[in-house]
Amino acid sequence: FPEMSYLSFFCLGPGAGQDVGRSCILVSIAGKNVMLDCGMHMGYNDDRRFPDFSYITQNGRLTDFLDCVIISHFHLDHCGALPYFSEMVGYDGPIYMTHPTKAICPILLEDYRKITVDKKGETNFFTSQMIKDCMKKVVAVHLHQTVQVDEELEIKAYYAGHVLGAAMFQIKVGCESVVYTGDYNMTPDRHLGAAWIDKCRPDLLITESTYATTIRDSKRCRERDFLKKVHETVERGGKVLIPVFALGRAQELCILLETFWERMNLKAPIYFSTGLTEKANHYYKLFITWTNQKIRKTFVQRNMFEFKHIKAFDRAFADNPGPMVVFATPGMLHAGQSLQIFRKWAGNEKNMVIMPGYCVQGTVGHKILSGQRKLEMEGRQILEVKMQVEYMSFSAHADAKGIMQLIRQAEPRNVLLVHGEAKKMEFLKQKIEQEFHVSCYMPANGETTTIFTNPSIPVDISLGLLKRETAIGLLPDAKKPKLMHGTLMMKDNSFRLVSPEQALKELGLAEHQLRFTCRVHIQDPRKEHETVLRVYNHLKGVLKDYSVQHLPDGSITVESILIQATAHSEDQGTKVLLVSWTYQDEELGSYLTSLLKKGLPQGTA
Contacting positions for other proteins (CB under 8 A) = 213-218, 220-222, 224-225, 369, 371, 388-391, 393, 400-401, 404, 423-427, 430-431, 434-435
Q: How far is the CB of 395 from other proteins (least distance, A)?
A: 11
Q: Which own/partner contact pairs does 121-126 have at CB distance under 8 Å and 24+ positions apart?
A: 122/45, 124/47, 125/84, 126/83, 126/84, 126/87, 126/88
Q: How far is the CB of 365 from other proteins (least distance, A)?
A: 11
Cβ–Cβ under 8 Å, residues 205 and 412: yes
- Closer CB to other proteins, residue 12 or residue 354? 354
Q: How far is the CB of 332 from other proteins (least distance, A)?
A: 14
Beta strands in 220-336 (DSSP E): 239-243, 270-273, 310-313, 324-328
Give dist(CA 110, CA 276) in Å, integer: 10
CB hemisphere CA count around 426 (13 angstroms): 1
Q: What is the largest CA-CA distance in the chain?
A: 132
- Closer CB to other proteins, residue 114 or residue 373? 373
Cβ–Cβ under 8 Å, residues 383 and 375: yes
Give dist(CA 240, CA 234) in Å, integer: 7
Contacts of 171 (CB under 8 A, 6+ apart): 27, 29, 32, 34, 70, 153, 154, 155, 177, 178, 179, 180
Burial class (CB in 10 A: 0-12, 13-18, 19+), 541: exposed
Which amino acid would we find at residue 18? Q
- Closer CB to other proteins, residue 21 or residue 365? 365
Cα 370 to Cα 123, 197, 281, 328, distances in angstroms: 30, 38, 32, 21
In 10 A of CB 500, how many CB atoms?
Answer: 12
Handedness of CA 473, 478, 483, 486 (dihedral sign): positive
- Closer CB to other proteins, residue 172 or residue 397? 397
Q: How far is the CB of 215 from other proteins (least distance, A)?
A: 4
How long is the chain? 605
- Closer CB to other proteins, residue 390 or residue 585? 390
Q: How far is the CB of 389 from other proteins (least distance, A)?
A: 6
- Enter the DSSP assignment of 291: B
- Closer CB to other proteins, residue 218 or residue 547? 218
Give dist(CA 50, CA 12) in Å, integer: 10
Q: How far is the CB of 388 from other proteins (least distance, A)?
A: 5
- Closer CB to other proteins, residue 131 or residue 369? 369
Which amino acid would we find at residue 46? D
Return the ∠ at Cα 115 (arms to 364 and 253), rounded to 5°: 60
Residue 421: active-site member: no
- Closer CB to other proteins, residue 404 or residue 522? 404
Q: How far is the CB of 429 from other proteins (least distance, A)?
A: 9
CA end-to-end span of the chain = 61
Which residues is 491 bridged to in the sheet? 494
Q: How far is the CB of 218 from other proteins (least distance, A)?
A: 4
- Closer CB to other proteins, residue 386 or residue 597? 386
Which amino acid would we find at residue 547? S
- Enter the DSSP assignment of 192: B
Give dist(CA 300, CA 293) in Å, integer: 11
Q: How far is the CB of 358 from other proteins (least distance, A)?
A: 9
Beta strands in 15-166 (DSSP E): 25-29, 32-36, 68-70, 95-98, 138-141, 146-148, 153-159
Return the ∠ at Cα 124 (arms to 361 and 337), rounded to 5°: 50
- Enter the DSSP assignment of 34: E
Q: How far is the CB of 229 from other proteins (least distance, A)?
A: 9
3-state secondary structure of 105: helix
Give the residue among 519, 556, 521, 551 at the shortest CA–CA distance from 536. Answer: 556
Q: Which of 176, 208, 223, 252 is catalytic?
A: 208
- Closer CB to other proteins, residue 370 or residue 566? 370
- Closer CB to other proteins, residue 97 or residue 403? 403
Q: How far is the CB of 436 from other proteins (least distance, A)?
A: 12
CA 181 to chain CA centroid, nearest Å: 5
Catalytic residues, by residue number, are 208
